[in-house]
Amino acid sequence: MRFFLLSLLLLASLPVAAGKLMIIGDSLSDAYDMPREDGWVALLDKELGPEVEVINASISGETSSGGARRIDGLMASHDPDVVLVELGGNDGLRGLNPSQVRENLDRIVESASTNGATVLLMQIRLPANLGQAYINRFESIYPEIAEDHGATLVPFFLEDLYDRPGMLMADGIHPTPEAQPEMMEAVRPWVSEALEARCSESYRMSGGVH
C-alpha cells in the first residue's frame, strides 16, 4: 500500500504536456471555408487540454514571405514554447523559385529557434501537375532546412488523405470538415512529444526527480 501511494505521488509530480504552442500556416491550418472551431487546430486545442495554450497564427492565402515578415512580431507577442510551421504550399502552387521559399522558411525557423522555441517544420507536398522536376526541387528544401536548424520534420498531414473519398473539397486542395480530425491526429503525437520534452527539461532544471 505504501509503495502504491508513493507511486501515485511520483506520477503526479512528473512533467506532462503543457506550455504554449503556436501554429503559423496557411488555409490548411486556418479552417478554410468552414467555422474555425471545426478545423484541426481547434480540435487539437481541445485534445491537448487546458494545460496547453494554442495560438493559431495561420492566415488563408499566407505565403512563406508573409510568414517571414510576421514571425518576429508573433514571437515577441506570444513567446511560444513550440512553433509548428506549415507554410510553402501557396508558394509552390504559384511556381515560386524554391531557393526563395527556402530563404523565407530559413528566416522563420531561425527566428523561432533564436527566440527559444522548439520548431516543428511540416513537410509540404505539391500536386503532380506542377511537374516532377519542380516538385523534387521544392519538396527537398524541407528536410534540408530541418537538418540545418535542428528542427523536427513533421510528415505532411494530407499525404494519406488524397485518395480517400470525402477528404478534399471540390478544388482538390483544401481538406473537408471530415478530414480535420485525421489531420489533428497526424499532428498530435509530434506536438505532444515536443511539449513533453520542454516540460521535462524545465522539470530537470528546477531540480525535479532525475
Which positions are catalytic? 27, 171, 174
User: Which residue has 514571405 as its cell numbers?
Assistant: 65
Are 125 and 156 contacting, i.e. CB atoms less than 8 angstroms apart? yes
**What cell numbers appear for 1 in the block?**
500500500
- 3-state SS track over 36-83: HHHCHHHHHHHHHCCCEEEEECCCCCCCHHHHHHHHHHHHHHHCCCEE
Residue 113 vs residues 94, 158, 178, 210: alpha-carbon distances, Å: 28, 26, 34, 26
CA 68 – CA 5 distance, rounded (Å) = 51
Strands (DSSP E) found in the chain: 19-25, 52-56, 82-86, 118-122, 152-154
CA 101 – CA 65 distance, rounded (Å) = 8
Work out the angle at residue 116's Cα, subtended by the Cα atoms of residues 202 and 99, and round it to the nearest 5 degrees: 145
